[in-house]
């Protein structure tokens, strides 16, 4: 067992419980583990593997002696407490969007830019879930044939909205099937047997919503390519867990579906699920609980006569690779290479 002191902020949430599960499943060695959440959860018992832990209140003293803190309790909590944690010498791995575009904070997907994590100044940001799920399979292609433009359409699950949104989908579906009424409480529109534009705020100038703009900005930062052009349409669908995305990608040079399949074969974090004969492609039910992003429907985009464009469909568990797994992989990188400057 190592002597690392670990803190999970937001341990009771949809992402938080995945952190606990992954710490145990990946045999992440720690000396102590503190679970923090809001006042309503204080005293709640939770398990990490077969060990029992009690949820504590989050306050300014929560990070004394801590080495790594995983934050998944929303942007305002991160904004307030991540700098406090970093000041204590603890490395923060933050799931919120609070610091992602801060030039002093690395935005890391370990399959793409692991070196950035090692240059942290106390806080490392985990990218947006839709961004991670698109970029894990696009990166190996980008390295072979530079991507010029991405058009993405997302099909985002309830789990992306947290534990309460998942419960809302279950409750609304039950009420609908029983002929009753369910008033939306977490999401803005009726969720059962419906879909709607992502619930993030819409920018009044561009008319893109925040989720869409995150994909645009974060892709440029992670790929370190300010010229890459991206447009996204993000939609919340009545799926419990795992996001899907239709991606149309324009490359610099002509490209074929077989090249794409070859370049994606055996890539870390990617699994091909691409069987046109059986009409069998990535599905959120099969992506749920999986570490890999499933990739299929790889075909020439017939709207581009220059043969430089590919259409594809991906599905990934955004609570895992889109959030907790990516965070744990960053922590594993740090453990392997040294925690860095901020750690005491």
Ligand X SMILES: NC(=O)c1ccc[n+]([C@@H]2O[C@H](COP(=O)([O-])OP(=O)(O)OC[C@H]3O[C@@H](n4cnc5c(N)ncnc54)[C@H](OP(=O)(O)O)[C@@H]3O)[C@@H](O)[C@H]2O)c1
What does the per-residue mask of binding to ligand X show for 279-318, with x meaning CB under 6 A? Answer: ---------------------------------------x
What does the per-residue mask of binding to ligand X show for 130-159, with x meaning CB under 6 A? Answer: -----------------------------x
CB of 259 to ligand X, least distance (A): 31
Distances 56 to 7, 35, 37, 84, 155 between C-alpha atoms, Å: 11, 6, 7, 17, 35
- Alpha carbon 187 to its chain's center: 19
CB of 1 to ligand X, least distance (A): 26
- How many helices and strands (H and E) does the chain possess? 9, 14
Counting contacts by CB under 6 A, is residue 45 touching ligand X? no
Nearest Cα neighbor of 254 from 296, 304, 297 is 304
> Which residues are the active-site residues?
129, 243
CB of 240 to ligand X, least distance (A): 12
Counting contacts by CB under 6 A, is residue 322 touching ligand X? yes
Residue-by-residue DSSP string for 150-161:
EEEEEEE-GGGG
Q: Which of 77, 107, 247, 334 binds ligand X (CB under 6 A)?
A: 77
Q: Which segment (37-45, 269-277, 302-310, 334-342) binds ligand X by CB under 6 A?
A: 37-45
**DSSP state, residue 201:** P
Rounded to whole angstroms, how far apart are CA atoms 176 and 196?
A: 17
Q: Which of 84, 118, 153, 163 binds ligand X (CB under 6 A)?
A: 163
Counting contacts by CB under 6 A, is residue 233 touching ligand X? no
Counting contacts by CB under 6 A, is residue 14 touching ligand X? yes
For residue 24, the tally of other CB atoms under 10 A from its CB is 14
Q: Which of 62, 95, 131, 154 binds ligand X (CB under 6 A)?
A: 95
In the bound complex, which residue of the shown chain has the CB atom lying closest to ligand X? 13
**Which one, 24 or 250, has the nearer CB to ligand X?**
24
Nearest Cα neighbor of 152 from 228, 211, 234 is 234
Counting contacts by CB under 6 A, is residue 331 touching ligand X? no
Counting contacts by CB under 6 A, is residue 167 touching ligand X? no
Residue-by-residue DSSP string for 98-124:
TTTT-TTS-B--TTT-HHHHTT-SSEE
Q: Are strands 147-156 and 196-197 parallel, antiparallel or unpaired?
A: unpaired
Distances 27 to 30, 31, 38, 93 between C-alpha atoms, Å: 9, 12, 27, 18
* Residues of the shown chain interacting with ligand X in the complex, contacts defined by CB under 6 A: 10-16, 36-38, 40-41, 58, 72-75, 77, 95-96, 129, 159-160, 162-164, 318-319, 322-323
């Amino acid at each position: 067992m190592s002597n690392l002191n670990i803190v999970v902020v937001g341990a009771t949430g949809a992402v938080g419980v995945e952190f606990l599960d992954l710490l145990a499943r990946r045999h992440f060695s720690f000396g102590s583990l503190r679970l923090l959440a809001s006042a309503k959860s204080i005293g709640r018992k939770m398990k990490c593997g077969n060990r029992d832990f009690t949820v504590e209140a989050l306050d300014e003293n929560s990070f004394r002696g801590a080495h790594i803190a995983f934050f998944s309790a929303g942007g305002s909590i991160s904004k307030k407490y991540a700098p406090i944690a970093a000041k204590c010498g603890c490395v923060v791995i933050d799931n919120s969007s609070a610091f992602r575009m801060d030039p002093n904070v690395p935005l890391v997907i370990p399959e793409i830019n692991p070196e950035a994590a090692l240059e942290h100044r106390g806080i490392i940001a985990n990218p947006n879930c839709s961004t991670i799920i698109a970029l894990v399979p696009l990166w190996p292609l980008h390295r072979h044939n530079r991507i010029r433009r991405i058009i993405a359409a997302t099909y985002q699950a309830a789990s992306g909205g947290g534990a309460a949104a998942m419960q809302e989908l279950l409750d609304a579906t039950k009420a609908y099937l029983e002929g009753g009424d369910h008033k939306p409480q977490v999401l803005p529109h009726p969720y059962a047997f419906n879909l709607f534009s992502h619930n993030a705020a819409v920018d009044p100038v561009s008319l893109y919503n925040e989720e869409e703009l995150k994909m645009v900005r974060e892709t440029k930062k992670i790929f370190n390519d300010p010229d890459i052009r991206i447009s996204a349409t993000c939609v919340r669908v009545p799926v419990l867990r795992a996001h899907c995305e239709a991606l149309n990608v324009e490359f610099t040079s002509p490209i074929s579906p077989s090249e794409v399949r070859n370049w994606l074969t055996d890539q870390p974090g990617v699994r091909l699920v691409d069987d046109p004969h059986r009409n069998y492609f990535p599905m959120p039910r099969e992506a749920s609980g999986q570490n890999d992003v499933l990739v299929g429907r790889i075909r020439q985009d017939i709207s581009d006569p220059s043969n430089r464009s590919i259409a594809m469909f991906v599905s990934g568990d955004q609570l895992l690779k889109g959030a907790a797994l990516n965070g744990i992989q960053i922590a594993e990188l740090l453990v392997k290479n040294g925690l860095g400057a901020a750690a005491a």
